[in-house]
Every structure is written in C-alpha cells, then in structure tokens.
Amino acid sequence: MGTFSSFGLNQAYHERYEKLGDRLSDVGKTLDWDVFRPLLESMYANKSGKGGHPNVDVILMFKIQLLEVWYNLSDLAVEREIYDRLSFWHGK
C-alpha cells in the first residue's frame, strides 16, 4: 500500500501530465482495441495444450509492438521504457 505522500506525488504527476498532453492515453481512448483481437488471436494463440506459462494478452503484445515502431525501440529497450516510464502504461 502506498503512503500518503506517494499518493500526492502520483496525483500531482497525473494532473501535470494531463495538462502537457498525453498522446498515448489519447490513442488508448480513441481506438477500440478489441477490433484487433480476432486477427491477433488467430496469429498468436498457443493452442498446443502442452502447458507452460499462460499466454500474454494479444492486445497487450500488440500495444507493445506499436510502441516499438512509434519510438524506434528494440525489444529490450521497450521493456526498459515500460518499467521506467509511467506514460507507456497510460496507453493501456
């Protein structure tokens, strides 16, 4: 559970960020991501029945690939940015 000060900082961050403009959040609000789900599931679904780690949501993977293209990032770089930048989570 976060502290009161971390809550205040988080709220201040979001207020300031919204004033500056959040393109990723705008994209997330504009697009109906589920339109892509049937196509993506046909391409990425693991139906081998061998068990193992559950599949990552195909929409999440698609969004990550878009970030790689939009920001010219490698797989490692986009992973680092996702962990580092709150703005990359706003577009979810």
pLDDT-wise least confident of 2-6, 7-11, 61-65, 79-83: 2-6
The reply to whether 4 falls in a domain is no
The reply to whether 36 falls in a domain is yes
Q: Are 66 and 31 in contact (CB under 8 A)?
A: no
The reply to whether 86 falls in a domain is yes
- pLDDT of res. 90: 56
CA distances from 79 to 25, 28, 67, 71 (A): 18, 19, 10, 12
pLDDT digits (tens, 9 = 90+) for 47-61: 677 777 777 889 999
Angle between the 75-84 and 58-71 helix axes, to the nearest 10 degrees?
A: 100
pLDDT-wise least confident of 37-41, 58-62, 87-91: 87-91
- pLDDT of res. 11: 77
- The span from the CA of 2 to the CA of 92, in Å, is 22
Span 16-45, mean pLDDT? 81
The reply to whether 16 falls in a domain is no
- pLDDT of res. 75: 94
User: Taking the model in full, what pTM does it have?
Assistant: 0.66
The reply to whether 38 falls in a domain is yes
The reply to whether 54 falls in a domain is yes
- 44: containing domain: 23-90
- pLDDT of res. 1: 52
Domain count, the chain: 1
